[in-house]
């Protein structure tokens, strides 16, 4: 099997590592900046390095991995689906519900293999958690709550594409990390989120920009000096820029079975590299997990103490990509050899249809935040 990768950012390197560990050849890499494609290609020894996306249509390429900013997804997806390519797309699938609906319709009309990289599902502990929560002895689900905290956008921070609405859209924390939490909550519980109420925080809308590094306009203390690995701002007069996308979000949730929940997102929490937590309470049992200890799953019944199961060979972040990709490529092989999909036979990778609902959820959250946190019903995509 041969893959191609569109895009060369950090996430594309994770895709490449997971493909290699799965025994999938990387045939081509495409980036509009040839120098970036060349650097990526040299790192991963990719034979075809180009700016030209038409190489993705070559017959020898079985699946294309789309690792570009989200506003660039839809045109490439349409082009590739027209040529019958299998796709693995980074999240979010797209930024508008209508566009997501159109992409799902196109993919399903062609019976295409199309997945979205909600990799968090693929930690062993998360797969076990889903079995426990959806089993009868867990009881009725009452409450789901958790966080997704990162430090990457705490100032000082580089001004990257995530701050450009023409590439990232109008949101940041919700679409970038919240999409993973929302998918996991629905996947583990088996329940759809039907309504949301949200508050956003953009804590320093005005920022200094010097040599690509954002800092607070009022900062003169050493607390916001450039950390190791980032450029030290020069003495030149800084540019003042405005950031409108959210650094953090607090979201109340209502699920279809009547359960309630909450999600707290932050991209400015110092010390939190990739801290996703999920706790689910049922009428008979409580269960919780966090991504910084991915091989441990905790649960308890009243009066019985906490039971911790350790997944000794559970793997980590890149392994979750590998497992998702293996399911997609297993389906691709099955269809090539038998003409029958394997997805319904133990390979339930996240599809465009599931991803379209995360788009609808994200849009409902943004609507609520723009209207003083009022409850907003999530419009179904299908």
One domain, residues 115 and 125: no
Mean pLDDT of 56-82: 97
193 compared with 226, residue with greater pLDDT: 193
Residue 100 lies in a domain: yes
One domain, residues 113 and 134: no
Q: Are strands 376-377 and 193-201 parallel, antiparallel or unpaired?
A: antiparallel
One domain, residues 44 and 168: no
pLDDT (tens digit per residue) in 105-128: 999 999 999 999 999 999 999 999
Mean pLDDT of 148-174: 97
At 227, the pLDDT band (50, 70, 90 cuts) reads low
Q: What is the pLDDT of residue 307?
A: 97
Q: What is the pLDDT of residue 238?
A: 84
Q: What is the pLDDT of residue 348?
A: 86
Residue 253 lies in a domain: yes
One domain, residues 156 and 115: no
Q: What is the pLDDT of residue 223?
A: 45
Mean pLDDT of 11-19: 98
Residue 334 lies in a domain: no
Residue 87 lies in a domain: yes
Q: What is the pLDDT of residue 220?
A: 46
pLDDT at 314 over 80: no
Q: What is the pLDDT of residue 345?
A: 60
One domain, residues 92 and 221: no
Find out whether 144 and 280 touch, Cβ atoms under 8 Å: yes
One domain, residues 195 and 97: no
One domain, residues 99 and 126: no
Residue 105 sits in a domain whose CATH number is 3.40.50.720
At 382, the pLDDT band (50, 70, 90 cuts) reads confident
C-alpha Rg value of the chain to the nearest Å: 21
Residue 328 lies in a domain: no
Domain count, the chain: 2
Q: What is the pTM of this model?
A: 0.93
One domain, residues 176 and 192: yes
One domain, residues 114 and 169: no
pLDDT at 102 over 80: yes
From residue 72, how far is each of 52, 129, 345 by CA, in Å? 15, 34, 33
User: Could you tell me the residue range of the domain that residue 280 belongs to?
Assistant: 121-316+359-377
Residue 330 lies in a domain: no
Residue 127 sits in a domain whose CATH number is 3.30.360.10
Euclidean distance between CA atoms 347 and 329, whole angstroms: 10
Residue 68 lies in a domain: yes
One domain, residues 162 and 297: yes
Q: What is the pLDDT of residue 15?
A: 98
Please choose, from the candidates 183, 162, 200, 180, the residue with its C-alpha nearest in 3D space to the C-alpha of residue 70: 162
Residue 26 lies in a domain: yes
One domain, residues 112 and 175: no
Tokens of 141: 């689900």
One domain, residues 133 and 77: no
One-letter-per-residue 3-state SS of the chain: CEEEEECCCHHHHHHHHHHHHCCCEEEEEECCCHHHHHHHHHHHCCCEEECCHHHHHCCCCCEEEECCCHHHHHHHHHHHHHCCCEEEECCCCCCCHHHHHHHHHHHHHCCCCEEECCHHHHCHHHHHHHHHHCCHHHCCEEEEEEEEECCCCCCCEECCHHHCHHHHCCCCHHHHHHHHHHHHHHHHHCCCEEEEEEEEECCCCEEEEECCEEECCCCCCHHHCCCCCCCCCCCCCCEEEECCCCCEEEEEEEECCCCEEEEEEECCCCCCCCEEEEEEEECCCEEEEECCCCCEEEEECCCCCEEEEECCCCCCHHHHHHHHHHHHHHHHHHHHHHCCCCCCCCCCCCEHHHHHHHHHHHHHHHHHHHCCCCCEECCCCC
């Amino acid at each position: 099997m041969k893959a191609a990768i569109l895009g060369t950012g950090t996430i594309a390197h994770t895709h490449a590592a997971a493909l290699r560990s799965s025994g999938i050849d990387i045939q081509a890499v495409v980036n509009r900046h040839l120098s970036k494609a060349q650097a990526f290609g040299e790192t991963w020894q990719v034979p075809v390095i180009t700016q030209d996306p038409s190489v993705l249509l070559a017959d020898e390429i079985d699946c294309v991995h789309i690792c570009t900013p989200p506003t660039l997804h839809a045109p490439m997806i349409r082009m590739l689906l027209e040529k019958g390519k299998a796709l693995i797309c980074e999240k979010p699938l797209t930024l508008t519900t209508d566009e997501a609906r159109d992409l799902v319709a196109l993919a399903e009309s062609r019976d295409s293999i199309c997945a979205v990289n909600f990799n968090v599902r693929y930690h062993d502990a998360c797969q076990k958690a889903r079995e426990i929560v959806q089993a009868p002895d867990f009881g009725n689900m009452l409450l789901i709550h958790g966080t997704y905290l990162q430090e990457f956008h705490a100032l000082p921070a580089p001004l990257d594409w995530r701050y450009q609405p023409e590439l990232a859209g109008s949101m940041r924390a919700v679409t970038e990390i919240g999409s993973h939490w929302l998918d996991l909550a629905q996947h583990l519980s088996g329940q759809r989120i039907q309504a949301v109420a949200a508050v956003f925080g953009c804590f320093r809308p005005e920022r200094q920009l010097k040599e690509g590094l954002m800092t607070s306009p009022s900062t003169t203390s050493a607390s916001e000096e450039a950390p190791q690995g980032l450029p030290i701002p020069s003495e030149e007069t800084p540019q003042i820029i405005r950031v409108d996308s959210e650094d953090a979000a607090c979201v109340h949730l209502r699920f279809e079975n009547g359960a309630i929940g909450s999600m707290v997102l932050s991209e400015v929490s110092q010390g939190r590299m990739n801290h996703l937590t999920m706790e689910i309470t049922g009428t008979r049992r409580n269960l919780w997990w966090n991504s910084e200890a991915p091989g441990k799953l905790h649960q308890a019944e009243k009066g019985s103490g906490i039971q911790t199961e350790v997944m000794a060979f559970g793997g980590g972040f890149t392994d979750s990509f590998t497992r998702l990709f293996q399911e997609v490529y297993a389906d691709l092989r099955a269809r090539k050899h038998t003409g029958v999909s394997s997805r319904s036979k133990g390979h339930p990778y996240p599809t465009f249809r599931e991803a379209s609902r995360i788009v609808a959820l994200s849009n409902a959250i943004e609507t609520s935040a723009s209207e003083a946190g009022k409850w907003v019903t999530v419009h179904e995509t299908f």
